[in-house]
Amino acid sequence: AVVSTQSGHYGREAISAKSVSSHITISQCDIIVWVIDIRSAKECFCEETFSELTNAKKTVVFVLNKVDLVPKSVAYQWYSVYSKRAPTFVLKSTEIILTECEQIITALKTSLARFGGAKPLLAHLKESSTEAEKKIGVIGGPQVGKSCVISTILKQCGRTKAKKATETKLSETLKLVTVPGLIKMEYKGVLNVLNNIHQYMNHPTEVLTALAHCITKQDAMFHFTLPNYKHPEGLPDALAVRYNLYFQKEPDHEAVGRLVLKQFRDKKLKFYVACEDSDDSVNIPDDQIGDVHRLLFEGDALRLNSSELNIIITKKEKKKKGNEMDVDEDDEEDDKELGMGSSDEEDGEFEEEEMS
């Protein structure tokens, strides 16, 4: 179900110095890349902006960002919805949900599948500009990953963002505007809570029920080590019992709300809003999902080949011992090395750590 919260003044966000109004981007560019946070994709869509793009006869491309933070079934559902409106692509997130294996996740963030999903997106953009020179602009709501999408496209092309210039040439007929366009919109769901957690810390019970609908029972039981309970209405009481949060011998839902909000703030808890109406027969093409398929989960923790992680961790440790910098994000050799295997001894040690 769609989560709704009291928006009030919480969802308002002024245009920052790092972005411009989406109207400026739309007027100056030929191809518009619209970034959507797939965790709550319905919140990120604005019918007025889409009508503006249609009336201006702009080429629209949707990018479902942070696809690795939702189950594969949810990714397919939202892809089927947006692909009916315009060409749609998926990208992995730069955010990493922290787990007990923080060393692995930190190493993973620096190298593994950094450009997941960027190749087919860039290929589509180049096909759209075969005849005349065209300009690409990136737009989206607050905190959906607009700048990260721009950075990902630049890195895929081997380019860097100039400090003073607002455009970067990707090919002979393609330019990318490196200043994103911000759509003025007020979130009224879980993204409103996420972007204004400090406000809701004073009134946690207002959003506790809404957040419970965005967390799966499996994730809640695994993350908080809870026994079986009735989800989602039983989550506050289950957490109160687990962490002994009582006030006058009654479950303290205000303390429970702050506990859940802190997990959201520290990026330790997965959440998403499922799609209500979708055509499940529409699947994400293999060429798009191929780069990020290892990062998608079926409702449990991320699963990756142990040999790949061993290579990443070993290389990172060697860099630190030599008093050198960490793994360079622009080093494309990391992706090549991920296809290599590691020694049997390394695999054995990693498997023992996983079992423990």
The pLDDT value recorded for residue 267 is: 80
pTM to 2 decimal places:
0.75
Q: What angle do CA 344, 349, 355 make, to 5 degrees?
A: 120
For residue 138, what are the β-bridge partners?
A: 33
CA dihedral 138, 140, 146, 149 (to 10 degrees): -60
The pLDDT value recorded for residue 188 is: 87
Mean pLDDT of the chain: 76
> Any idea which residue has 């990693």 for tokens?
350
Percentage of residues in the chain having pLDDT higher than 70: 68
The pLDDT value recorded for residue 73 is: 85
In three-state secondary structure terms, 187 is coil
Q: Write the DSSP symbol of residue 42.
A: T
Per-residue pLDDT tens over the stretch 5-27: 444 333 333 344 577 899 999 99
Amino acid at 112: L
Percentage of residues in the chain having pLDDT higher than 90: 36
Residue 185 structure tokens = 């919109």
Q: Write the DSSP symbol of residue 179.
A: S
Residue 264 has pLDDT above 70, yes or no: yes
For residue 60, what are the β-bridge partners?
A: 32
Per-residue pLDDT tens over the stretch 151-178: 888 888 888 776 667 888 888 889 999 9
Per-residue pLDDT tens over the stretch 331-344: 444 444 444 444 44
Distance CA 46, CA 140 (A): 9
CB atoms under 10 Å from CB of 171, counted, come to 14
Per-residue pLDDT tens over the stretch 110-136: 444 455 678 888 889 988 877 788 999
- Whole-number Cα distances in Å, 93 to 64, 292, 295: 10, 10, 10
- At residue 67 the predicted structure's pLDDT band, cuts being 50, 70 and 90, is confident
The pLDDT value recorded for residue 71 is: 84
Task: Please enumerate in sequence order all residues whose Cβ is within 8 A of that of 328, keeping only pairs 6 or more positions apart, or say none.
Answer: none
Q: Which of 26-30, 204-208, 266-270 has the lowest mean pLDDT?
A: 266-270
Contact between residue 67 and residue 292 where contact means Cβ atoms under 8 Å apart = yes
Distance CA 331, CA 342 (A): 20
